């Protein structure tokens, strides 16, 4: 059996070689946290989960700061003060700076600290694709005119 699928390059995704995950910011598409979560899922991803200082620095330096605030995949909506990642990963690392009555976590563009905001807040977001979300990769011709061939993730 042969599977044939159309592939396209998404040059906005950035790979972090440490965990081999891909990340993409959507600062130009501000949404509520719940809608951003759904939008990432519709793309085969999830809101970014940050489980180490190194991953936090990567996302801040490459995607968020110092330009815009971004939803990440954490909330305490189920139980106040008990934050959880959307993937169920352990809540071991965090940079929460202020915790109020709000339930949804975003990374700020000034220092990369994490804050909470209410459900109605509308800001950009970061999606994350794990390495096992992919069938494979292939090289395709230069699609964005920068003189370098692209990598298409299948």
Cα–Cα distance for residue pair 137/85, rounded to 1 Å: 28
- Assess whether pLDDT exceeds 90 at residue 6: no
Domain enclosing residue 125, as ranges: 14-130
Q: Match 């809608």 to its residue by tokens.
A: 35
Domain-located, residue 143: no
CATH no. for residue 65? 3.10.100.10
Summarised one tens digit per residue, pLDDT across range 140-150 is: 676 667 665 65
The structure tokens listed for 128 are 């994350």
- Count up the domains in the chain and report the number: 1
Domain-located, residue 24: yes
Domain-located, residue 90: yes
Question: CA gyration radius for the chain?
Answer: 16
Q: What whole-number percentage of the chain has pLDDT above 70?
A: 79
CB neighbour list of residue 138: distance below 8 Å, 6 or more residues apart? 7, 151, 152, 154
Summarised one tens digit per residue, pLDDT across range 101-128 is: 899 999 999 989 999 999 999 999 999 9
Summarised one tens digit per residue, pLDDT across range 67-99 is: 789 999 999 999 999 999 999 999 999 999 877
pTM reported for the whole predicted model:
0.79
Cα–Cα distance for residue pair 90/1, rounded to 1 Å: 40
More confident position, 66 or 40: 40
DSSP 87: T
Phi, psi angle pair for 69, to nearest 5°: -85, 150
């Amino acid at each position: 059996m042969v599977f044939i699928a159309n592939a396209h390059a998404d040059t906005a995704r950035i790979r972090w070689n440490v965990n081999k995950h891909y990340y993409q910011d959507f600062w130009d598409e501000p949404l509520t946290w719940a809608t951003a979560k759904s939008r990432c899922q519709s793309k085969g991803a999830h809101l970014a989960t940050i489980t180490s200082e190194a991953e936090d620095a990567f996302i801040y330096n490459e995607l968020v700061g110092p330009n815009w605030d971004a939803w990440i995949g954490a909330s305490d909506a189920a139980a106040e003060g008990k934050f959880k990642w959307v993937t169920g990963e352990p809540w071991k690392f965090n940079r929460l700076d202020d915790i109020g009555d709000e339930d949804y976590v975003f990374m700020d563009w000034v220092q990369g600290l994490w804050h909470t905001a209410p459900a109605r807040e509308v800001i950009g977001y970061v999606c994350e694709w794990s390495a096992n979300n992919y069938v494979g990769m292939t090289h395709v011709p230069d699609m964005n005119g920068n003189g370098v061939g692209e990598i298409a993730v299948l």
